[in-house]
Amino acid sequence: MLLQIPDVLDARQLAEARRLLADAPWSDGRDSAGSQAAQVKRNQQLPHDCAAARHVRDAVIGAVEREPLFLSAALPRRLFTPRINRYGGDTPSYGEHVDNAIRFRADDGERVRTDISCTVFLSEPDAYEGGELLIQDTFGPRTIKLPAGHAVLYPGTSVHQVTPVTRGWRIACFFWIESMIRSDEQRRLLYELDLAITRLRNRHGDDAETVALTGTYHNLLRMWADT
């Protein structure tokens, strides 16, 4: 499932992020890629321990953990420490690749299974040319380029790339999510059921049927979830 989440970061948070990122210590992005991915990865990223990276990732984690759409769609169990990366100049693209299934979190060495990928766009689309996130979805290729502050969630299983940036810089925050629900199909069913129940409840208030459907949702979650 591919899902866009608008306004994860607000204008004030974006302005602060851009101020900090303007003179941050960018380094070669290849040191964090698997061997297949490293051959096609041409970008820059921030060291985990720099002040700008710390500030932006705290803002992003704080925001997604309060975002109902994110929680419902991802059903997160753990998050990989978000990275901040940029594309442009001599480091303009990330060719077609798949992400390693298991990553080790920098801060505590904890294993994270990469069920879902999340990109939060930090540059406005008119600040750069190219730089689309191109995802091979089950329905064919999908091109994603979102306004600053918006996020996209996509399955970690998909082949994807960032197309070459030919003008300006594309800055984004990126992380993986290990979900309580390993299967993309099951996660999608739960998300759609949750969405339908919420809409029913908003339209009609609670009744015996919404209570029963909510019970079914939680019983499916109980059946499928690893906590």
Which residue number has the CB closest to Ni ion? 99
Least Cβ distance, residue 174 to Ni ion (angstroms): 8
Q: Which two tokens stand for residue 63?
A: 């925001």
- Of the pair 136, 198, the CB lying nearest Ni ion is at 136
Least Cβ distance, residue 206 to Ni ion (angstroms): 42
- Of the pair 40, 220, the CB lying nearest Ni ion is at 40
- Of the pair 13, 119, the CB lying nearest Ni ion is at 119
For residues 177 and 117, give the distance between their C-alpha atoms in angstroms, rounded to a whole number. Answer: 6
Least Cβ distance, residue 176 to Ni ion (angstroms): 9
Residue from 154, 159, 214, 213 nearest 179 by CA: 154
- Of the pair 99, 194, the CB lying nearest Ni ion is at 99
Residue from 227, 172, 207, 198 nearest 68 by CA: 198
For residues 106 and 187, give the distance between their C-alpha atoms in angstroms, rounded to a whole number. Answer: 27
Instruction: Output DSSP code: residue 101.
Output: S
Least Cβ distance, residue 97 to Ni ion (angstroms): 6
Instruction: Output DSSP code: residue 30.
Output: G
Residues that bind Ni ion (CB under 5 A): 99
Residue from 87, 116, 171, 121 nearest 6 by CA: 121
Least Cβ distance, residue 147 to Ni ion (angstroms): 21
- Of the pair 99, 184, the CB lying nearest Ni ion is at 99
